[in-house]
Amino acid sequence: MVGYLCGHCSHAWARPVEDDLDVHDIVRVDLPDRTLYGDVWQVEDDRVQVRGPGGGLLWVERWRVILY
């Protein structure tokens, strides 16, 4: 589970970590400084390689990925 806490209102919620990701799935990645939309290129136990809209590849922690 991934926990969230709103900094404005202190509301808290949780969501499960995606465990059924496959290559070419469309995903959203919540990064500290931005939100990335793209498709999965590689999947490992604790990280996922995502290809963004500009074609660049980025490894991200699996818990940051949300399947679309």
Q: Is residue 47 part of a domain?
A: yes
Q: Is residue 15, in this structure, part of any structural domain at all?
A: no
Q: What is the pTM of this model?
A: 0.83
Cα-flanking dihedrals φ and ψ of residue 47, to 5°? -150, 160
List pLDDT tens digits, range 11-52. Answer: 998 988 988 999 999 999 999 899 999 999 999 999 999 999
For the chain, how big is the Rg over CA atoms in Å?
13
**Which CATH number covers residue 45?**
2.30.30.520
Question: What SS3 class is residue 62?
Answer: helix
- Give the distance, in angstroms, between the CA of residue 7 and the centroid of all CA atoms in the same chain: 20
Is residue 44, in this structure, part of any structural domain at all?
yes
Per-residue confidence (pLDDT) for residue 6, from 0 to 100: 85
